[in-house]
Amino acid sequence: MKGRPKLYTYFRSSCSWRVRIALNIADVQVDMVPIHLVRNGGEQHGEEYKSINPMGQVPAFVVDDLTLTQSVAIMEYINDTNPGCGLLPSDPKERAKVRMITEIIASGIQSIQNLSVMKYHSDDQSERQAWSKHWITKGFEALETVLKGTSGACCVGDTPTMADCCLVPQVYNAKRFNVEMDNFPLISKLEKNLSKLPQFSAAHPSQQVDCPEELK
């Protein structure tokens, strides 16, 4: 990376949160550009922002002449441009495990309960809550089993990877939607331990410039 990157983010977006953790692990400094997903019908839908990310989603990552708009692609780029940060292991088998867990969360869980999907599903808040709780629970049932075969102190072994970057925000969402986390002791243990690491705590929504004062 040559210039100072920009990250278009929203404090409570789990996809943005993943990237913030990854940036912290790689010790990459960026300029945060908040995009409010709710105010004024959602700033992500404005023409100015959609010229950066045509999907109208966060995050978007801009550095020099490169614009990336999907969190997993951004995390892989951070890994590839910061050798030794460890977001992806060097061993092919361990690398594949990290990608597997990343996709279980990013594609198999989070994408089904994100804001746009919930809005399309129902205008009723209780229905949205039930929808998200159902899909996170179903995903966590599989993830808990997978992690029994891959985890140490982290999702894969003992070093934080992009799988861990995905796990912590997803547990936050699970708690928001009243998922019974007692049913997932391994996921809960990993999230608790990871959240104590400075790279993770600094990326928490409460630490972001666009977090409302009442939520800090």
Per-residue pLDDT of the chain (216 residues; tens, 9 = 90+): 567 899 999 999 999 999 999 999 999 999 999 998 887 778 888 888 999 999 888 999 999 999 999 999 999 999 999 999 999 999 999 999 999 999 999 999 987 767 677 676 767 778 778 888 999 999 999 999 999 999 999 999 999 999 999 999 999 999 999 999 999 999 999 999 999 999 999 999 999 999 888 876
Distance from C-alpha of 64 to C-alpha of 43, rounded to nearest angstrom:
23
Domains of the chain, each with CATH number or no CATH: 6-85 (3.40.30.10), 92-200 (1.20.1050.10)
123 exposed, middle or buried (CB, 10 Å; 0-12, 13-18, 19+)?
Answer: exposed
Q: Which tokens sit at 91?
A: 């061993």
Question: Residue type at 99?
Answer: R
Q: What is the pTM of this model?
A: 0.92
